Amino acid sequence: MEVTKDLRDTNIIVDTKKIHDNMAMIKEMVGEGTEVMAVVKANGYGHGAVGIAKPLLEAGAKYLAVATLSEALELKEANLDYPVFIMGHTPDRLLHHIVEKDIAQTVFSIKQVQLLSQLAKEAGKTATVHVKLDTGFHRLGCIPSDEYVEEVCQMFEEDNICVEGIFSHLALVNDEENEKQYKLLCDFIDAVEARGFKFKYKHIADSIATVDYPEYRMNMVRAGALIYGMKGFHKGSLPVEQAMTFKTRISQLHSIKKGEGVSYDYLWKAEKDSIVATLPFGYADGYPRNLRDKGYVVINGHKAPIVGVICMDQCIADVTDIPDAKEGSEAIIYGDGTDGSMTIDEASKLADTNKNDIIARIPARPIRLYI
C-alpha cells in the first residue's frame, strides 16, 4: 500500500475510525446476546476487505463474511487467524481449501457435509458449517421439509463437523412476508432442536432488517451496508457515517470556444467560451457511466458538472465558474456531503441504482488509502 500510494491521483480514502465506530454502534444496538457478522464481500463493498478487517474485529465483529472462496482466501492470506465465513456456495472441488484454512462455510446438502467431513478427518481438523434454509428467496438453501430436517440432523452426526449455525435471508418484500420467512426459519430450527441438536448461531437479518426489525435479530446479524455508513433502513435509525471518500486531481485544463463539443460524439457543447478540466477517472473506476450530464465533482468547494460522455479512464468537468481551478487541483468524486460533495446516497439516486451497487462496483484500480 505504502509503495503504491503515490502511483495515481485517483484514490479511495477509507476512514478506518468510522468503520470501527459504525461497527461498534451496531454491536451496541444489538446488545450483549447478539453477535455481528461484518459483511466484507466484494472487497469490503469497495473499501478493501483486508484494509478494514482489523478495525471491524477490534470493534467486536464475530466473523468477516464474504460471498466467495477467493474472497475468503484473500483475507486468510492477510491473516490466518481472521475468522472468515463464506455465505455463498463453494463447489465440491474447492472444499479442501475450506478445511485447510479453517474457513466457516455455508452448506445446504448432506453430500457437501460428508465431503467436508472426509477432508477434515484426513487433515485432523473440524470443519465449521452454517446450514442455509430457503424461506422464499430461492437463491441458496433448501426449502423446509421433513426430509431436510432429517438431512440436517444427519449433518450433526458426521465426524469432524461442527454445525455451528443456521440461517436464511429476508427478501424484505413487506412485513407480512418477513414474518412468514422468519417463522419458517424458527419452525425449522425447532424441528431440528427437538431432536436434540443445537445451533449456536441463528441469523436472518441483513443491515436493513437489523435496524428496522429488531425482532428478527435472533442471536446473530449479518451487517454489510451499515458498517460502511450506508443508511438503507426506513423504520428505525442508526447514526452510522459514510467511511469512504473518492478523490482525484485535475490532469489538464482546456479553454474551449462557444459551440465546441467534448468527449465522444461531442454530446455536450459549450454554450459560451468555457474552461473544462480533464479528470483521470472513468467508468473503469466504478463511476456510473449513466451519470453523464448528472454527476459532478467538487473543486475548491464548488460543484463542477461532469460534461459529455464519461470515458473508461477519464471524464471532463466544466470548471468555467470555479475560482482557482488548476491542473493538480483536488476534485472530490464522492464525499460526505460537506462542501456540497456528492454522497454515495446521492450518486445512487442519480444513477438509478442502490448504494451498495455504487460502492461494491469500485474495482481495485483506484488506490485505497486508509486513514
Ligand X SMILES: *Cc1c(COP(=O)(O)O)cnc(C)c1O
Contact residues: ligand X, CB under 6 A: 39, 41, 87, 169, 206-208, 222-225, 356
Q: Which residue number, 21 or 134, has a Cβ lying nearer to ligand X?
A: 134
Q: Which residue number, 71 or 206, has a Cβ lying nearer to ligand X?
A: 206
Place of cell 426459519: 185
- Minimum Å gap between C-beta 143 and ligand X is 17
Q: Which of 18, 27, 41, 247 is catalytic?
A: 41
Rounded to an integer, what distance in angstroms lies between the CA atom of residue 312 and that of residue 322?
Answer: 25
Closest CA to 169 of 227, 110, 221: 221
- Minimum Å gap between C-beta 84 and ligand X is 14
> Ramachandran region of residue 191, left (φ > 0), alpha (ψ -120 to 50) or beta?
alpha
> Ramachandran region of residue 187, left (φ > 0), alpha (ψ -120 to 50) or beta?
alpha
- Minimum Å gap between C-beta 299 and ligand X is 31
- Minimum Å gap between C-beta 206 and ligand X is 4
Q: Does 41 participate in catalysis according to the annotation?
A: yes
Which residues, at least 6 apart from 289, have a Cβ–Cβ distance to it below 8 Å?
A: 283, 310
Question: What H or E segment, with its residue span, contains residue 290?
Answer: none
- CB 157 within 8 Å of CB 128: no
Q: Which residue number is nearest to ligand X in terms of Cβ?
A: 224
Which residues, at least 6 apart from 347, have a Cβ–Cβ distance to it below 8 Å?
A: 288, 291, 295, 334, 358
- CB 144 within 8 Å of CB 184: yes
Q: Which of 17, 111, 264, 266 is catalytic?
A: 264
Q: Does 296 participate in catalysis according to the annotation?
A: no
Q: Which residue number, 223 or 347, has a Cβ lying nearer to ligand X?
A: 223
Q: Which residue number, 119 or 344, has a Cβ lying nearer to ligand X?
A: 344
Catalytic residue set: 41, 264
